[in-house]
Amino acid sequence: MSILAESIWLLVILLVFLSGGVWIAAVLLITGYFGMVMFTQSPAGPLMATTVWSASSNWALSSLPLFIWMGEILFRSRISEDMFRGLAPWVGRLPGGLLHTNVLGCGIFAAISGSSAATAATIGRMTVPELSKRGYDVRMVTGSLAGAGTLGLLIPPSIIMIVYGVAADVSIARLFVAGVVPGILMMTLFSGFIVLWALSKPALQPPREEKTSLTQKLAAGKYLIPTVGLIAAVVGSIYTGLATPTESAALGVVGALALSWWSSSLSKKVFLEGVSGAVKTTCMISFILMGASFLTASMGFTGIPRALAEYIGHLGLQPWQLIAVLMLLFIVLGCFIDGISMVVLTAAVILPAVKAAGIDLLWFGIFVVIVVEMAQITPPVGFNLYVLQSLTGKDMFYVARASLPFFLLMVVAVSLIWAFPQIVTFLPSLMFDLTK
């Protein structure tokens, strides 16, 4: 049977089980098993056992539950509320006013969460009622929160970066460092758009916030000290080479527990709910990774990735053309499955083609994260859309329309990192060269 026919058969099996509502992880295992049985002579059972065990015992994954737990603790503590109090005096007089707290708040919380949905939900619970009460345009409140909430995937520590790093065999520490400048770039684009929108539509703006003195701003800044301190400890320990991502994640959990206790919001209920949430999320992601590892191995035995890479090579696509095609592919996939599933579903097929095109896998990882961010605000399975739907009470299509300008800004961000790849690669090269 030809490689094309094999690919079509496996794609049909994959789509049939996905459309039937079967768990993503189970679909990956089933598809891999069918591929081994139908198209190879190798024993499927032993390969599944060894591959699944190897994927589940990967030391790089040990940071995953710790970062998730850290985010769960902070999600339930008073630290997130203090962030709004600390940011509001600094941005209230800018065009767009307190809308900037969505961008800055999400950017800060992303650095201690790693989850897009948790970032949008945490900041949204604070800002949506407050901004609505003060008369801010609901559409812009919703759109800015949808766009900025996706920063939870890009600004380190990021759960999806850990998943990509394991799938692509790329240094997780380098990925974390590479996400910093693109994250700042996207925050700048979002805030810049808010400023331009506010200047072009002054009638939609509420009265400006009362002017605050520098002393008052500095006094409010004390509420940011715990959050900024935790970010500096967790992310700084990675950048300086003092700790591995796993060690910094453990430091983050200890710091989050200490801050929650200090803010008097750490109770037995909060602790148990945090542990339970972290366990559920970690199990889901780990199960998906196990299935993806087996599917990757199965695809390797069938020869499909190699044949696809050779086919793309024969097409003579320029690297930018390949990136454009992959961006469209990820956006379409994002309409149906979540970001982590996208990465693990496509890694086995796409990464060989990306390598063949000579594209840096570190750069490609940041590209993938940004495109997955775009998928977070594309219906019908954009997780951030569901979060904002519950927070605002608006329907899915209203939230999606409000998010559209920020979706387009992400397209601009992808164009910029393609035109200037140093945006992604400069800081990792600088940091890791200095620590050698």
CA distance 411 to 397: 20
pLDDT at position 193, please?
94
For 101-122, give one letter per residue: b (16+ CB within 10 A) or e: bbbbbbbbbbbbbbbbbbbbbb
pLDDT at position 366, please?
93
Burial label for 46, CB within 10 Å (0-12, 13-18, 19+), is exposed
Q: CA angle, 191 as apex, 187 and 192 as ends, to 5°?
A: 110
Residue given tokens 């509502």 in the structure block: 21
Two structure tokens written together for 168:
């692509």
pLDDT at position 192, please?
93
Residue given tokens 């035109």 in the structure block: 419
Peptide bond into 421 cis (omega under 30): no
Residues of the chain with pLDDT under 70: 1, 3, 58, 60-61, 80-81, 92, 112-115, 117-118, 122, 208-210, 239, 285, 304-314, 334-338, 380-383, 432-436
- On whether the CB atoms of residues 387 and 152 are closer than 8 A, the answer is no
Q: How far is residue 61 from each of residues 102, 172, 217, 282, 290, measured CA to CA in Å?
A: 31, 10, 41, 10, 11
Burial label for 3, CB within 10 Å (0-12, 13-18, 19+), is middle
pLDDT at position 415, please?
92
The chain-wide mean pLDDT, for the chain, equals 80
Query: Which are the contacts of 429, defined by CB distance < 8 A and separation ≥ 6?
Result: none
Closest CA to 52 of 290, 282, 285, 283: 290
